[in-house]
């Protein structure tokens, strides 16, 4: 059964991965039907316990080549907001997270139009 968004902002929870293994920002909600929602703001914050950098990218995120890299969270507690107040919306399935050290991760939330 698909997950329904019932709050705005909608928390995507803690997102962690192994270094070099990008994961979707929707990793905690694989059944979320993103076609039902228009997202125009994404908030991503690195965990306060992180020891390394976290990387935000698109579906081509590759830390060896830099392809697909959008932003680097430089340390614990660093945050990034991707906002689009125009008519365009973000495709949530396009965004990935990767980490420098195992156990590091981010917390994310989305805001809907």
Residue 52 lies in a domain: yes
Give the Cα separation of 54 and 21 in Å (integer): 12
Residue 2 lies in a domain: no
Query: Domain containing 102 — which CATH number?
Result: 2.60.120
Check if the beta carbon of residue 54 is closer than 8 Å to that of residue 14. Answer: no
From the number of C-beta atoms within 10 Å of its C-beta (0-12, 13-18, 19+), residue 62 rates as middle
How would you write the pLDDT of the chain (113 residues) with one tens digit per residue? 667 777 889 999 999 999 999 999 999 998 888 777 778 899 999 999 999 999 999 999 999 999 999 999 999 999 999 988 776 688 889 999 999 999 999 999 999 87
Tokens of 22: 């990008």
Residue 51 lies in a domain: yes
Q: How many domains does the chain have?
A: 1
Supply the range of the domain harboring residue 68. 10-112
């Amino acid at each position: 059964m698909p997950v329904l968004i019932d709050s705005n902002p909608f928390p995507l929870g803690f997102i962690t991965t192994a270094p070099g293994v990008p994961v979707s920002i929707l990793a905690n909600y694989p059944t979320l039907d993103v076609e039902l929602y228009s997202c125009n703001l994404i908030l991503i914050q690195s965990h306060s316990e992180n020891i390394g950098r976290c990387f935000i990218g698109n579906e081509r995120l590759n830390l060896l080549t830099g392809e697909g890299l959008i932003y680097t969270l430089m340390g614990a507690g660093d945050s990034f907001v991707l906002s689009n107040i125009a008519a365009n919306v973000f495709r949530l399935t396009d965004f990935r997270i990767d980490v420098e050290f195992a156990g590091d991760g981010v917390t994310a939330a989305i805001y809907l139009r």
